[in-house]
């Protein structure tokens, strides 16, 4: 068993627990051939929209919330990148922002007791 010492370890553990509970996600991010790569401004725009959401948002809801249209493949590439980075969680209810960069929260996690899993 691995001990959870850092915020990143805790996030990864939570993420893996939720992945193990899911049978099949509704959003498939499998992109076999990249036709168009998203720009940095597009990635930041999607990140900002996801950060501001109160709860899980569907793929269609995310597309409606964006200020400009994005190619479907570009959006899926961005979501795959954010999921691999550990910033979002794609589940059965939709896409949720899970990253927390608040310095007070990170300090609290560092001071917290270690949980053996």
Could you tell me which residues are beta bridge partners of residue 116? 3
What's the pTM value of the predicted model, to 2 decimals? 0.63
Per-residue model confidence (pLDDT) at position 90: 87
pLDDT reading at 60 higher than 70: yes
Average pLDDT over the chain reads 78
Per-residue model confidence (pLDDT) at position 105: 72
SS3 105: helix
Tens-digit pLDDT profile for residues 14-41 = 666 665 555 444 455 556 666 778 899 9
What's the rounded Cα separation, in Å, for the pair 95 and 101? Answer: 18
Q: Which residues contact 71 (CB under 8 A, 6 or more apart)?
A: 36
Mean pLDDT of all residues in 48-66:
92
> What angle in degrees, to the nearest 10, is found between the helix axes of 40-52 and 72-85?
70
pLDDT reading at 114 higher than 80: no
């Amino acid at each position: 068993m691995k001990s959870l010492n850092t915020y990143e370890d805790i996030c990864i553990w939570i993420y893996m627990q939720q992945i193990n509970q899911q049978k099949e996600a509704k959003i498939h991010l499998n992109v076999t051939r990249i036709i168009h790569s998203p720009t940095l401004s597009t990635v930041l725009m999607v990140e900002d929209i996801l950060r501001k959401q109160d709860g899980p948002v569907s793929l269609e809801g995310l597309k409606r919330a964006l200020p400009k249209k994005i190619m479907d493949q570009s959006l899926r590439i961005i979501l795959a990148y954010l999921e691999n980075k550990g910033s979002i969680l794609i589940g059965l209810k939709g896409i949720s922002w899970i990253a927390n960069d608040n310095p007070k929260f990170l300090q609290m996690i560092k001071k917290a007791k270690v949980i053996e899993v």
